[in-house]
Structure 1
Amino acid sequence: MKSADLLTDAFTRVQESVHSAVEGLSVDDLHVRLDEGANSITWLVWHLTRIQDDHVSDAFGVEQVWFSQDWASRFDLPFERGATGYGHSSKQVASVKVDSPELLLDYHDAVHERSVEFIRGLDARSLDRIVDEAWSPPVTLGVRLISVIADDLQHVGQAAFVRGSLERRQSGTRTGRLPG
């Protein structure tokens, strides 16, 4: 198996997990925060997708899907258009709202498609290319992509946890075990 195949598989697992966390939920469910300082599923999926879009686009020297396909206008969020959610306050987290689950999923799918398009053309040597010299040691493309995957998986896991909590509340079941 080639490096590009492994990376494609990892990003595809993220995409599948995003769909599992979001599909079938109401807009109200997507916006629920388990407490006043917690992140909603909407914010978690939007944020992980923004980070993927931002970091992958930067690594390949292209405009973010957020701008090139005008997702910024479609989401119409009440803060700077280029925001990714990094460092957001509780008030900003609460302001990330969508009118439908499809908006989140469609944006994620567009970013996934773009990411996989770039990754398919990689070979092991290209993963050694330096993409960020602001760190010591400088960050290679391979390290950047693994970092994005790790961040995505953490956030989509949090979204799945919120979904499971909501489903247990709605069913009245409190088993102390996570679903699945």
Structure 2
Amino acid sequence: MSGVASSDRGPWLDPERLELIRASVPLLYVEAIPVRLADDGAITHVGLLLGAPRSDRIERALVSGRVLYLETIRQALQRNLDKDLGPMALPQLPTSLVPFTVRQYFPHTLDGEGGQVSYDPRQHAVSLVYVVPIAGDVQVDGDCLGFDWYPIADASSASLATELASGHAEIIAQLAASCR
């Protein structure tokens, strides 16, 4: 796969410039739902990070991150999975880049809007969500405090939903419903 090396993308945006951009245009993100599969390909478990990705509280979340300038969606997925789950996770990226679902995150609530709209106080973002089987061992590092696997039957429980970042409970519920 040809692509642009990380150093060719230029420097990370400084915080002031990123804040200005977030206030001006929607940003593109990818989110990955780590899953374990049975021998027949059925989803048995969903993996969730433990950390403080979008708020001041400890919460569970999906793998998530921006698509960088000149980066393909596949490269963004791989980079964010490697960053959050470690190099030995061995994610099996989808052959098709058609997402499982698409979410929008807004910096304020939208009255009368339902469905695929969630809250992110930092920005308006559009996120392409992918289901990604994990074949190896997860080793979190950096901002993550931990990682846990949940049986798919329990992943959409009300008690777990209260621990999830904005929008992620709905994504997990949608996945669980598609597995029934």
**Smaller-chain TM-score bracket:** under 0.3
TM-score where L is the length of structure 1: 0.25
Q: Which is richer in strand?
A: 2
Q: Which of these two proteins has the greater Rg computed from alpha carbons? A: 1
Q: Which is richer in helix?
A: 1
TM-score where L is the length of structure 2: 0.25
